[in-house]
Amino acid sequence: MTTKAGEKPFIALGIAVLTVSDTRTLADDTSGATLAERIAKAGHHLVDRAIVPDDLDRIANQVRSWTLSQEIDVVITTGGTGFTGRDVTPEAIEPLFEKRMDGFSAVFHRLSYDKIGTSTIQSRATAGLVNSTFVFVLPGSPGACKDAWDGILLQQLDYRHRPCNFVEIMPRLDEHLQRGKA
């Protein structure tokens, strides 16, 4: 991608998408497909995409595995953020967080409120860092995935976004370990 003098270049990130569902397959996973399409359109690389059932260990193991990969900078999950008995995605992933990103949930709910009103309180969307990798936990609806991507992630995962973005801080995420991931 060419840039104007003084303009930062686009930096493509490696992103993995995990759909948490007992019933979906890749053929009918509209939320995962929505994210995959938006990732590609933005110029990022979809490194991997998977579906796991609503199971604490399987969710945590998949996310942990991806966060250990040098190819993956961001993990986005969709599904399992509600209040029913099988909704366990936050419980599986939040214990992995090195640092929580409380602002993500606040902004997500603000955007969601504008579209679905008070029903947004039925989502436990969350985000944080796992092994110095950004992890975003989204609801399972395509609309929620669109809102999170279009309203937050598209800008924050673009190095050119001002006044700040996640990409510019990525080299410093694991500075406490005295090594660089990138």
What string of DSSP letters covers the chain? ----TTPPPP-PPEEEEEEE-SS--TTT-HHHHHHHHHHHHHT-EEEEEEEE-S-HHHHHHHHHHHHT-TT-SEEEEES--SSSTT--HHHHHGGG-SEE-HHHHHHHHHHHHHHHGGGGGG---EEEEETTEEEEEE-SSHHHHHHHIIIIIHHHT-TT-SS--HHHHGGGTTGGGTS---
CATH number at residue 66: 3.40.980.10
In a domain, 94, yes or no: yes
Length of the chain: 182
Q: How many domains does the chain have?
A: 1
Per-residue pLDDT of 32-45, as tens digits, reads: 999 999 999 999 99
Average pLDDT of span 45-72: 98
In a domain, 115, yes or no: yes
pLDDT band at residue 7, thresholds of 50, 70 and 90? confident
Per-residue pLDDT of 65-82, as tens digits, reads: 999 999 999 999 999 999
Boundaries of domain holding 136: 14-170
More confident: 19 or 7: 19
In a domain, 95, yes or no: yes
In a domain, 5, yes or no: no
In a domain, 140, yes or no: yes
In a domain, 4, yes or no: no
